[in-house]
Structure 1
Amino acid sequence: MSKCKAWIHAFRLRTLPLALSNIFLGSFLAASDGGFRLKIFILATLTTLFLQILSNLANDLGDSISGADNEERVGPQRAVQSGLISKKEMIRMVIVFVLLSLASGIYLLWEGMQLLSFTQAIVMLGIGILAIGAAINYTVGKNPYGYTGFGDLFVFLFFGLVGVLGTYFVHTGSLNWMLFLPAIAIGFLSVGVLNLNNLRDIENDTKTGKHTLVVKMGSAIAKWYHLFLLGGTMVIAFLYSYLNWNSVFQLLFILSFPFLIRNIQIVFKNQNPRDLDPELKKLALTTLLFSLTFGLGLLF
């Protein structure tokens, strides 16, 4: 594999649809309230892509250092562990994406200053810096939170609440409590992807001391947890539509439900964790489908 292909592989492009889901939904919600701004949407999308790639690179580096990446690991080949990219090269690229995330995020806030106060912009900048730190500290550092069972919480916060509410806020300069429902829904689906990933890796994570929430509670309970996350998303979607009913088009999100139900069935029937690997991409794409159909339904 060439160095260029190795880097593209390390970026793990298949994770990007999941990262974009919260930006798209936050923007759709803003558009439904007449607050959509194209430049904000483009900058928010770029910032999210940079953060997701940063997280993927840091995860590759951290799992290689800790030993979680080894010959028994399931899933795509990791760049550092395989020797395609050196640790020094990976550290340099992590720094590059930290700088790209900062630059894009600051430009985003600069554009948002039309509707935000200075204090609000500083708070948003602080949240952005925390997002960068969270992307790195998932598997890198002395106490990576991904190894102690807190990955689910951070994914819920940053891929759900911060992603959806933050995007809406930068578009409109305002928030309302009802927005927490779709933000929670996307957060649940994002955690569902992580839970599926950890179910797949439970055997290797147990051996290498990576104490994910799945390792802590066991695969049997993790399957019910998966049902809670995906089932909860469907309930929340209906609840939001009921409380904010305008037209039947709001139920477009139902198009994603057969894929969510199928994913739950596969998880409960699964006996070999390695067989769950193909379902990761499918659930990520289903999350994007949910975001798009939910958001489009609000515009009719």
Structure 2
Amino acid sequence: MATVAEWVQGARVRTLPNSVAPVLVGGGAAAAVGGFHVGFWVLAMAVAVALQVGVNYANDYSDGVRGTDAERVGPLRLVGSGLVGAGRVRAAAFACFGVAAGAGFMLAALTGRWWLVAVGAVCILGAWFYTGGSRPYGYSGWGEAAVFLFFGPVAVLGTLYVQAGRVSWPGVAGAVATGTFSAAVLVANNLRDVPTDRTAGKVTLAVRLGEVRTRTLYCGLIAVPFIVSIVTSFNNPWLLVGLLALPIVQRSARRVVHGEAGLALIPVLRDTGLAMLLWAAVTAGALGWG
């Protein structure tokens, strides 16, 4: 029987910046055009966080039943470790998806934008089929593209639109930045797992590219948010505060460039997530303030 602490580890709470950051940026972009609505913003955050935890449990289940987690390094896997039966982890994933669907339905009802239900359904399907189903797209190199899409344009612009009823150029720039940050987290994760994924037949983008090009890709992705901060600062100088997150990712980039692998890459995942969260928080504040 797994403990509460082990269930929390299985939920991989360190990945939550991926879901929190875009909603912060979307809220800041809404405030910049005078459209911030605290109730809608809270519901959007609930959707994002519930989906994130749900996809983490879904990945734990799907990878566990496939045997992909048998030799993995990194966070605790509930199914792969044998601590929890696969059915219980799958049920936890579906419960989280249910919470996300409920919050999303409330948001659609309150705003009158019923198309949000369709968007939410696509997000849930994307979360499940990342590693679930007979042909998971996470096993064929499309994970980073999906992460960019769902944690960038969908999350940021969706949060902005349900509040303000419009999309803005700062919102689009913020969507690109948070999407590349999230993709960088997954690139670092998959770089860590290249040896075991290759053995298990999980053909991630990192496996396709090889370690050298994957390390280059990571450095390119983490540069994008800071380029966005500089470019958008011409219209709002406050947005330069996003550069405060730069020292954190510089530390991560050094580890990646110097060829660290396996467990030594876990701090890279942590620091990339922290940099994303800091960048999103200060950028959202600058958007609202400016």
TM-score normalized by structure 1? 0.92
Partner residue, 1:43:
43
The farther-off stretch of 122-131 and 48-57 is 122-131
Q: Is 1:254 the equivalent of 2:246?
A: no
Partner residue, 2:58:
58
User: Which aligned segments of 4 or more residues in structure 1 are displaced greater than 4 angstroms?
Assistant: none
One-letter amino acid matched to 1:38 = V
Partner residue, 1:13:
13
Q: Is 1:185 the equivalent of 2:185?
A: no
Partner residue, 1:281:
270
Distance 1:39 1:296 in 2: 18
One-letter amino acid matched to 1:209 = G
SS at match of 1:140: coil
8 Å CA contact 1:263–1:283 kept in 2: the answer is: yes
Q: Structure 2: which 5+ runs fail to align? A: none
8 Å CA contact 1:205–1:212 kept in 2: the answer is: yes
Q: Is 1:229 the equivalent of 2:236?
A: no
Distance 2:117 2:232 in 1: 29
Distance 2:18 2:116 in 1: 22
Tell me how many residue pairs correspond in the alignment: 289
Distance 2:50 2:260 in 1: 36
One-letter amino acid matched to 1:293 = V
Distance 1:97 1:73 in 2: 24
SS at match of 1:94: helix
TM-score normalized by structure 2? 0.95
SS at match of 1:69: helix
Q: Is 1:91 the equivalent of 2:76?
A: no
Distance 1:171 1:272 in 2: 42
Q: Provide the aligned C-alpha RMSD in A.
A: 1.4
The offset of 1:271, in angstroms, is 3.6
SS at match of 1:40: helix
8 Å CA contact 2:28–2:286 kept in 1: the answer is: no
Q: What do the CA deviations read for 1:219-257 (whole angstroms, capped 9, x no partner)?
A: 100111112111122112211222x23xx4321111111
Distance 1:224 1:60 in 2: 28
8 Å CA contact 2:29–2:170 kept in 1: the answer is: no
One-letter amino acid matched to 1:25 = V
Q: What do the CA deviations read for 1:171-212 (whole angstroms, capped 9, x no partner)?
A: 111113453211101100000000000011011001001100
One-letter amino acid matched to 2:285 = L
The offset of 1:84, in angstroms, is 1.3
Q: Structure 1: which 5+ runs fail to align? A: 114-120
